[in-house]
Amino acid sequence: MSEDTRDPGSLHTPVLLDRCIELLAPALERPGALVVDATLGMGGHSERLLETFPEATLIGLDRDPEALDIAGRRLRRFGDRAVLVHAVYDELAEVVDERGFSAIDGALFDLGVSSLQLDEAERGFAYAQDAPLDMRMDQSAGETAAAVIATAPEGRLRAIFERFGEEPLAGRYARAIIAARQEAPIERSGQLVEVLQQATPAAVRDQRHPAKRVFQALRVEVNAELTVLERAIPAALDALRVGGRLVAMSYQSLEDRIVKRALATRSRSTAPAGLPVELPEHKPELRLLTRGAEQASAAERETNPRAIPVRLRAAERIRETS
């Protein structure tokens, strides 16, 4: 297999790059700082982090071997300051520990599907392009979207579409898929789109693409994205040393809700109501660095459409826990 010679910089424009660096800077300016890019992708954020903080070491995690190859070429010039690992981001604590570190100074999460996965039709993520229904971020493991469509009973399909896509026509779509697969296997994105379009009332088709939420839901299911995220954010917060910072960018409401809840829980006092003095162990663990969720500027949204849905939240670890 020939080496991928594509220029990573031309394939992907990192979202909210300057703001991420600004938020992480106070934690990474010390000599020997360690930052984890939990969603390495094509390495755009990691490249800027390594350039900006020349005494820092970066661990980059990604479940997609193709992304790791591309990022590896991009970050090769940083030598052993860039440690790239094939792992899912809920494995963050184990990866850090295995490499001999006791704590981290920064963590960055750029959630959702990557530009690489969206732009390569054969990965099956994009409903606008006909391709095999794969949707695995790591194509070496796990169940494909086609397998889910082929084997899941109606109730499970409906639950997937409702929970992970917030799709109001979930039941209707689940029934349509069951009926269609009895006639022929649904193995390509174009086939699934056709089934969904035929099952969608005309008035709804005029308002939005019928496949958008279903494809999101299938991708989340195939990659266990929300389950992984629910473990990963607390693990990253636990790994932060005092003064360490976490930045997370979400692209849909379900992701943002998980991040928001994790940060909010640890940024509040746990002292029982009516306690005359707040004991140290009840003090907040985190200080929120953003007021609510920040969005990209109008200028960035215009030049980089993938920044349109982003919601950024950040926090700083302000005390140790027992």
Rounded to two decimals, what is the model's pTM?
A: 0.88
Scanning the chain, the segments in alpha helix (DSSP H) are 8-11, 17-28, 44-52, 65-75, 92-98, 115-119, 145-151, 154-165, 170-183, 189-199, 202-205, 212-223, 225-239, 253-266, 298-303
Between CA 302 and CA 299 the distance in angstroms is 5
Binding residues for S-adenosyl-L-methionine are 43-45, 62, 89, 110, 117
* pLDDT tens digits along 105-127: 999 999 977 655 555 556 667 77
* pLDDT tens digits along 145-176: 999 999 999 999 999 999 999 999 999 999 99
**φ and ψ of 283, to 5 deg:** -65, 155
**φ and ψ of 106, to 5 deg:** -155, 150
- Looking at residue 202, its pLDDT comes to 87
User: Would you list the domain boundaries of the chain?
Assistant: 8-110+225-317, 124-223
* pLDDT tens digits along 18-27: 999 999 999 9
* CATH of span 124-223: 1.10.150.170
Could you confirm whether domain 8-110+225-317 is CATH 2.40.110.10?
A: no
Count Cα neighbours of 322 within 13 Å in the Cβ-side half-sphere.
4
Q: Once rounded to an integer, what is the mean pLDDT over residues 49-76? A: 95
Between CA 252 and CA 309 the distance in angstroms is 7
**At 74, which amino acid appears?**
R
Q: Once rounded to an integer, what is the mean pLDDT over residues 40-54? A: 96
Binding residues are 43-45, 62, 89, 110, 117
The C-alpha torsion from 294 through 296 and 298 to 299, rounded to 10°, is: 140
pLDDT band at 208 (very low <50, low <70, confident <90, very high): confident
Q: Once rounded to an integer, what is the mean pLDDT over residues 282-301? A: 93
